[in-house]
Structure 1
Amino acid sequence: MNKDLLRSLVAKLSSDPLLAKSIYIHIIATLSTGILMWSYAICAALTISSPIPAIVGIICSVIHLASPLLFSLTDNLVGVTLIMLIPGVIHQSSFAFFTGGFKSHILIWFGIIPLLAGIIEGRKSTLATTALVTTIAFVFLLLELAGFKFPDLISQEGEMFAQALLVFGYIAISSIVVFQYVGVTSRHSKSLEDQKDKTGRLLQILLHDMSNRIQLISLNNSALKRKITAEPALKNVKEIDNSLTGLGDIMASVRSMHLVDIQKKSLHLGPHNLNDVIKNSVNTFSDQLRINDQEIVFKEIEAEVLCDPLVLQNQVLNNLLSNAIKFSPSNSKIHISEASTQSHVVITIKDQGIGIPAPILSNLFNYSYDTTRLGARDEKGSGLGMIIAKSMVERMRGELKVESSTEVSKSGTSFAIKLIKAM
């Protein structure tokens, strides 16, 4: 029977890594606390004049030690954890009752029971054991206050031995359990990190292959556009072209968000001249500005800020300027201005566009809200640009704020990027 239980337990350990982790912690906790339980049982047998604490201690220690075998019969981690810990509570309560009641030092072990429950299983076991030990401790207290005379049947040598078990046992149990828990958690975290890296590489391959296919479809669609003259068919080709552009924007945003995640480990901040970064960003949109008959107006900015220039240009300014261009009418201007304080520099990008409706404005940086809408010339976007921009500004220890109006007389949007001034 025992061999069958062991075989079943080993099979579960091999098939379910997450359960194996929990069982491993359970076994470590059982063995380390089991030594103490048997020590207290022996102490009770040799130094307490009543046989009850020793009998209770031996029975509880056997149940406690056998508890890991229950995993071969059930996956109920809460149940098995409680079956392991409750005998310990009963053992401690019995020992305490015959060694002074509420004044017995062994009741201090009640404090470690919920800790073990939390490490082995989690909240449910923690709540259950907390309620149990608190209730028992409270009953001991009430009896003490009521004048109940608890028997104190332990010898002087036994009291010294029990005190030694308490001091050194508490140190050993807390050290062993926490050390093992930290070790298991570290290995689990490394496993998750490796999985994240694999997912990242898969995402890069997927984006690369999809980009190639989109480019191929776009080239063929452009060839069709030159050959087709019929208006209905030409309209369909243009819709395909717009959809491909929107899909390309979404993929670019996903790529940028992936880069944001990677750069959390490699972002290097240093003093950089704002003027150079802004000029490079504005030059990126020169063709689009010319086609839309738009203009970006800004004066020379001499201030230096603490930033990563490539991130500030590609993930922040490019997203904000692209947004301003997209939602501004033709023959309009976009203004970039700068204001400095003793410790910060604020860059403001203000357009004369259609503005952002209130529901979208209040959720502009919310991942779970769809903020996509058509631009002034029916351009499509991914709805992720502003989220990326805000995330990267905050990574550079800055702030990004937005104000917008949709009223015809004063429509437009203003983004303010606050960065630390380089000293």
Structure 2
Amino acid sequence: MFELKETAEEAQQKRLFYLKMIYFVSLAMSAVYLFKFNFEYRVSDYNPGLFSFWIGTALVPPIILYRLKNYKIAALSCALLATAVLVYLLYLSGGVAAPGIFWLAIVPFGFGVLLNTSGAFIGYTIVFATMVWFWILKLQGGSVNIIATYGDYDFEKSFNVCTFLIFAGITTHLYLKGEQKYTKRLQEKHWDVENLLRVLLHDVANTLSSMTYNLIKAREDQEQEAPMGQQLDKMERAVSDINNLLHQVRHLKSVKDGKASMPLNPISIAIVLNEVMEKSETLATQKGIKIALDLSRDKMIVNSEKTILNNVVLANLLSNAVKFSLPGDRIDLRAYATESMAVIEIQDYGIGMPENLLNKIFHLDAATTREGTQGEKGTGYGMPLVKEYLTMMGGSIVITSQEEAVPHHPRGTKVVVKIPLTV
């Protein structure tokens, strides 16, 4: 439904990681050959060029990045300087005959990782131009070959092969691991957007259904010239609930993006349950279902977000209890406090759930949608959302269900929600 896209911040963090990796690897490899040329081969004639490239690579990219705050120019300078060091070392090592000529293969990769597709084309161009230059030097007999003259060519070739394979393996592993990490993060963001959309689809639809019922009742009362105040009050509250829900979805998106925190405030469980009862009575009355509320005398105050707890969590659970109860049934709604938790139990005596459905009821990617006892439609999104938001509030949910009555367990579904009490 949604195309996965990186945010600018995520993309920048990823590019910075690869920039640092290429920066330190190029410095390390060039330092190794600076050491070899001066102490193993004892050739110092080319130090001005080697040291100039090395110092430029070490200083220029960090200065541009941290002083000028310009990633693109820093990345381009790093890639160009690292490539210049590599090409110069290959030139001094025999050009096309250099034991490490295959290191040129990493140039398009480095440019591509740092500067995307356009960078890769720059890398290909540099490699092509370098190979043409080396071949011309070879044909003219003007190549320098310090390794063939002062060193062990076979050893250097083996050394370069081993270091190249190690570098390629580590780099590929880090690259793939990084891509996997960012893909996972993008997938989580994708699911977050999906979940917020499901809140709207599921809970706004429930509230609109209640409004429609009250609107029909108000019209009937108008035709019978009866007072409509109660129905109008309910519709006004429903409109307010939808407005609050839309506001909360926007805020939750900010929470998911790390731009805001979950707004938890002290809330009375008794007040919330009475409000949820009032909303659910509309649907329950249509099926002749009675909801019995049993509230503990204990003062149960929890840190929660009222709109989410009311409309997304409890209203969903009670709506499901009504949906899967038979006409004329009863639903028991009970709340009490333990030492540290407020416990809310919703017991219906309806058709229950089969075990295979119960086992995957909280899975977003599982098909859990089914019709109610009077053909009521569902989305299958409600329960995964309930669990997710309870977890965000430090709570939990457990569901048990029986399709047939057994000793000590009536037919129907029992939901137990626990939310931490305020300290």
Q: TM (normalized to structure 1)?
A: 0.51
> Does residue 340 of structure 2 align to residue 343 of structure 1?
yes
Aligned to 1:370: 367
Give the 3 Å change call, closer, same or farther, for CA 398–70 of structure 1 in structure 2. closer
2:413 and 2:267 map into 1 onto residues whose CA distance is 27
Equivalence for 1:48: 40
1:398 Cα deviation from its structure 2 partner? 0.8
Match status 1:34 vs 2:26: yes
Structure 1 residue runs without a partner (length 5+): 1-17, 85-90, 100-106, 124-180, 223-253
Q: Is the contact between residue 30 and residue 65 of structure 1 (CA under 8 Å) also seen in structure 2?
A: no
Q: 1:29 to 1:318 in 2, by over 3 A?
A: closer
Q: Could you tell me how far apart the structure 1 residues matched to 2:315 and 2:30 are?
A: 69
Aligned equivalents of 1:388, 1:20: Cα separation in 2: 32
Task: Tell me the SS of whatever aligns to 1:286.
Answer: helix
Correspondence for 1:295 among 280, 290, 295: 290
The residue that corresponds to 1:415 in the other structure is: 415
Match of 1:274 among 266, 269, 274: 269
Q: 2:397 aligns with which of 391, 397, 400?
A: 400
Is the contact made by 1:268 and 1:308 (CA closer than 8 Å) also made in structure 2?
yes
Contact 1:27-1:68 within 8 A present in 2 as well:
no
| Alpha-carbon offset, residue 340 of structure 1 | 2.4
Q: Does 1:118 align with 2:157?
A: no
Q: CA 1:111–1:294 in structure 2 vs 1: closer, same or farther (change >3 Å)?
A: same
**Cα gap change, 1:23/1:366 in structure 2, threshold over 3 Å: closer, same or farther?**
closer
Indicate the residue corresponding to 2:328 in structure 1.
331
- Matched position secondary structure for 2:98: helix
Tell me the residue number matched to 1:379: 376
Secondary structure at 1:285 match in 2: helix
Contact 1:31-1:65 within 8 A present in 2 as well: no
Q: Which moved more, 1:42-51 or 1:350-359?
A: 42-51
Q: How far apart are the structure 1 equivalents of 2:13 and 2:101?
A: 23
Aligned residue for 2:400, secondary structure, equals strand
Structure 1 residues 346, 421: closer, same or farther in 2, change over 3 A?
Answer: same
In the other structure, the counterpart of 1:175 is none
CA displacement at 1:31 relative to structure 2: 5.6
Rounded to whole Å, the distance in 2 between the matches of 1:256 and 1:357 is 36
Change in Cα spacing, 1:267 to 1:24, as seen in structure 2 (3 Å) is closer
Change (3 A) 1:59 1:31: farther
Q: Deviations over 1:160-206 (max 9, x none)?
A: xxxxxxxxxxxxxxxxxxxxx99xx99x999x79x97xx89x979x9
Cα 1:38–1:59, aligned 2, differ >3 Å: closer, same or farther? farther
In 2, distance between residues paired with 1:45 and 1:338? 80
> What does 1:222-241 align with in structure 2 at a 5 Å threshold?
none
Secondary structure, in 3 states, of the residue corresponding to 1:299?
Answer: strand
CA-based RMSD: 5.5
Letter of the structure 2 residue corresponding to residue 122 of structure 1: L
- In structure 1, the partner of 2:77 is none
Cα distance in structure 1, aligned partners of 2:340 and 2:171: 49
Residues 64, 388 of structure 1: CA spacing in aligned structure 2 closer, same or farther, 3 A cutoff? same
* 1:49 positional shift: 4.9
Displacement after TM superposition at 1:288 (Å): 2.1
- For 1:66 and 1:358, how far apart are their aligned partners in 2? 57
Task: Give the counterpart of 1:390 among 387, 391, 395.
Answer: 387
CA distance 1:49–1:291, shift in 2 (3 Å): closer
Q: Secondary structure at the match of 1:272?
A: strand
CA 66–203 in structure 1, closer or farther in 2 if over 3 Å, else same: same
Q: Which AA in structure 2 matches 1:345?
A: A
Q: Percent identity of the aligned residues?
A: 22
- Whether the aligned pair in 1 keeps the contact of 2:295 and 2:336 (CA below 8 Å) is no
Shift of the 263–19 alpha-carbon distance from structure 1 to 2, 3 Å rule, reads closer
TM-score normalised per structure 2: 0.51
CA distance in structure 2 between the partners assigned to 1:257 and 1:354 by the alignment: 33
Quickly say closer, same or farther: Cα 1:36–1:387, change in 2 above 3 A.
closer
Give 1:170's aligned residue. Answer: none
CA gap of 1:407–1:261, structure 2 versus 1, over 3 A, is farther
Q: CA deviation at 1:334?
A: 0.9
Following TM superposition, by how much is the alpha carbon of 1:305 offset from its aligned partner in structure 2, in angstroms?
1.6
- SS of the counterpart of 2:349? coil
Please say if residues 22 and 110 of structure 2, whose CA atoms lie closer than 8 Å, have aligned partners that are also in contact: no
> Which whole-Å CA distance do the structure 1 matches of 2:36 and 2:341 have between them?
70
Partner of residue 350 from structure 2, selected from 338, 348, 353:
353
Query: How far off is 1:98 after superposition?
Result: 8.8
Equivalent positions of 1:53-64 (< 5 A) are 55=93, 59=98, 63-64=102-103
Corresponding residue of 2:55: none
Q: Residues 36 and 61 of structure 1: is their aligned pair in 2 closer, same or farther, counting only changes over 3 Å?
A: farther
Query: Which SS does the other structure have where 1:315 is aligned?
Result: helix
**Offset at 1:362?**
1.1
The alpha carbon displacement at 1:323 in A equals 0.4
Cα drift, residue 379 of structure 1: 1.2
Task: Give runs of aligned pairs for residues 201-220 of structure 1, distance below 5 A.
Answer: none
Conservation of the 8 A alpha-carbon contact between 2:324 and 2:372: yes
**CA displacement at 1:297 relative to structure 2:** 1.1
Q: Residue 27 of structure 1: CA displacement?
A: 7.3
Do the aligned residues in 2 keep the contact of 1:297 with 1:336 (CA within 8 Å)? yes
Is the contact between residue 374 and residue 380 of structure 1 (CA under 8 Å) also seen in structure 2? Answer: yes
Residue number in structure 1 paired with 2:280: 285
